[in-house]
């Protein structure tokens, strides 16, 4: 499965494995979709043997926006090849798939970073290909992490150990008496401290070679292994991925960060909740200003150590930059965990 479109590779695909599915004779009720962008097949096609940042220097250092755009590009090439002038997909289809791909590929990059990091933490040394500078934090198996790409409809509270969930539940019970609530949703990705019971599992130290369907399932299902096993202070990082920004599309992360900070810092005594937003097209500077907003919870309490709700709006230039930055983050943040 090639990163660069290959007519030979495409020809060898079973129709169910193709990036474009012709559904003109099996339409979805109430939709006019003629061709589907089979997003999981697209990932397997373009990234089946490639994880950016852990591939060739050419890909690791390639403009990340172009890397992320490649699956749709390849799919359109395939669709045009098979269906010529009949082929058409709505811009909203590309938008949806491009967004999911940015999230899934970035999660995979961070998954491999975590694998490499964990391998160092258990005393296996620092892998050298491709080369990243070795973190300086003193290794400890207790400082391993898990990268969790969280699914649609998720509630990040379900990651927490039962005792912590109960604290939140009691708090909510009080609110419910007044017809109020404080629903939680989710960031796209969470980095958590690897619970003790998994610290000898090799799977958390294995870099994946590509986003084959089995590896997609491994990464997208990883969260299930950790539900109910994370301490409030062990949610080390939350990330929202937005391929491009619009001024009205900035607020789900901003709001969720505020809620996480109220519950984790305010009710559960956790240290600062690190929540960041990644994008490839910020479209102006307004978003950077919006994300300077102070965390409302800290403000209202009149605390001295008020901080931003969103720690940073990050625009990864290349996959290698994303990886380097994540290693640096781990090197700093994991010092909080007793080695």
Partner DNA sequence: CGGTCCACCGGTGGACGT
Partner DNA sequence: ACGTCCACCGGTGGACCG
Residues near DNA (CB under 7 A): 29, 31-33, 35-41, 89-100, 102-103, 151-154, 185-186, 188, 220, 240-244, 246-249, 252, 281, 283-286
153 annotated as belonging to a binding site for a ligand: yes
- Considering only residues 76 to 95 of the shown chain, the ones binding a copy of itself according to CB under 8 A are 90-92
Minimum separation from the CB atom of position 152 to a copy of itself (A): 8
Complex with DNA: residue 78 or 100, whichever CB lies closer: 100
Long-range CB contact pairs, 218-221, < 8 A, 24+? 219/104, 219/107, 219/108, 219/111, 219/147, 219/149, 220/104, 220/149, 220/151
Q: What is the number of other CB atoms lying within 10 angstroms of the CB of residue 260?
A: 27
Contact in structure between 245 and 206 (CB atoms under 8 Å): no
Using the contact rule CB under 8 A, the part of the chain among 76-84, 244-252, 269-277, 326-334 near a copy of itself is: 244-252
149 annotated as belonging to a binding site for a ligand: yes
- Which residue is associated with the tokens 């990464």? 219
DSSP state of 63: B
Would you count residue 299 as binding a copy of itself (CB under 8 A)? yes
Complex with a copy of itself: residue 307 or 325, whichever CB lies closer: 307
C-alpha angle 252-254-259 in degrees, rounded to nearest 5: 90
Minimum separation from the CB atom of position 302 to a copy of itself (A): 9
Complex with DNA: residue 131 or 246, whichever CB lies closer: 246
Sequence-distant (≥ 6) Cβ neighbours of residue 167 within 8 angstroms:
267, 268
Would you count residue 294 as binding a copy of itself (CB under 8 A)? yes
Would you count residue 130 as binding a copy of itself (CB under 8 A)? no
| Strand 235-244, strand 275-281: pairing | parallel
CA–CA dist 259, 257 (Å, integer): 5
SS3 185: coil
Minimum separation from the CB atom of position 63 to a copy of itself (A): 19
Q: Which does 292 bind (CB under 5 to 8 A by kind): a copy of itself, DNA, none?
A: a copy of itself
Distances (CA, A) of 285 to 288, 291, 307, 313: 5, 10, 20, 11
Would you count residue 109 as binding a copy of itself (CB under 8 A)? no
Q: Which does 13 bind (CB under 5 to 8 A by kind): a copy of itself, DNA, none?
A: none
Minimum separation from the CB atom of position 284 to a copy of itself (A): 12
90 annotated as belonging to a binding site for a ligand: yes
Minimum separation from the CB atom of position 186 to DNA (A): 6
Complex with DNA: residue 216 or 236, whichever CB lies closer: 216
DSSP state of 125: -
* R_g of the chain computed on alpha carbons: 21
Sequence-distant (≥ 6) Cβ neighbours of residue 59 within 8 angstroms:
3, 50, 52, 67, 319
Q: Which residue ranges are tagged as binding site for Ca(2+)?
A: 90, 103, 149-150, 153, 188, 241
Q: Which residue ranges are tagged as binding site for Mn(2+)?
A: 103, 149-150, 188, 241
């Amino acid at each position: 499965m090639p990163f660069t479109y290959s007519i030979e590779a495409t020809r060898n695909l079973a129709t169910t494995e193709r990036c474009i599915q012709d559904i003109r004779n099996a339409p979805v009720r109430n939709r006019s979709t003629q061709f589907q962008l089979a997003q999981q097949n697209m990932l397997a096609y373009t990234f089946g043997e490639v994880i950016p940042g852990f591939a060739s220097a050419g890909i690791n250092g390639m403009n990340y926006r172009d890397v992320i755009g490649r699956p749709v590009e390849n799919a359109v090439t395939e669709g045009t090849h098979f269906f010529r002038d009949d082929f058409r997909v709505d811009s909203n289809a590309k938008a949806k798939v491009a967004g999911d791909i940015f999230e899934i590929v970035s999660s995979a990059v961070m998954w491999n970073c975590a694998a490499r990091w964990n391998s160092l933490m258990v005393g296996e040394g620092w892998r050298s290909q491709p080369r990243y500078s070795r973190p300086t934090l003193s290794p400890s198996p207790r400082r391993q992490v898990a990268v969790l790409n969280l699914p649609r409809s998720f509630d990040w509270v379900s990651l927490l150990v039962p005792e912590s969930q109960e604290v939140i539940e009691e708090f909510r019970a009080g609110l419910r008496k007044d017809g109020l609530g404080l629903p939680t949703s989710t960031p796209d990705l969470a980095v958590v401290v690897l619970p003790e019971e998994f610290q000898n599992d090799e799977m958390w130290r294995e870099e994946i070679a590509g986003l084959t369907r089995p590896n997609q399932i491994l990464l997208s299902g990883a969260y299930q292994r950790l539900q109910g096993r994370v301490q409030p202070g062990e949610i080390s990082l939350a990330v929202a991925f937005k391929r491009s920004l619009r001024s009205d599309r900035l607020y789900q992360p901003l709001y969720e960060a505020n809620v996480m900070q109220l519950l984790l810092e305010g009710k559960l005594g956790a240290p600062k909740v690190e929540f960041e937003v990644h994008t490839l097209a910020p479209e102006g500077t307004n978003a950077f200003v919006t994300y300077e907003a102070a965390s409302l919870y800290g403000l209202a309490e009149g605390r001295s150590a008020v901080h931003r709700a969103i720690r940073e709006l990050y625009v990864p230039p290349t996959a290698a930059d994303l990886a380097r930055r994540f290693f640096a983050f781990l090197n700093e943040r994991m010092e909080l965990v007793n080695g």
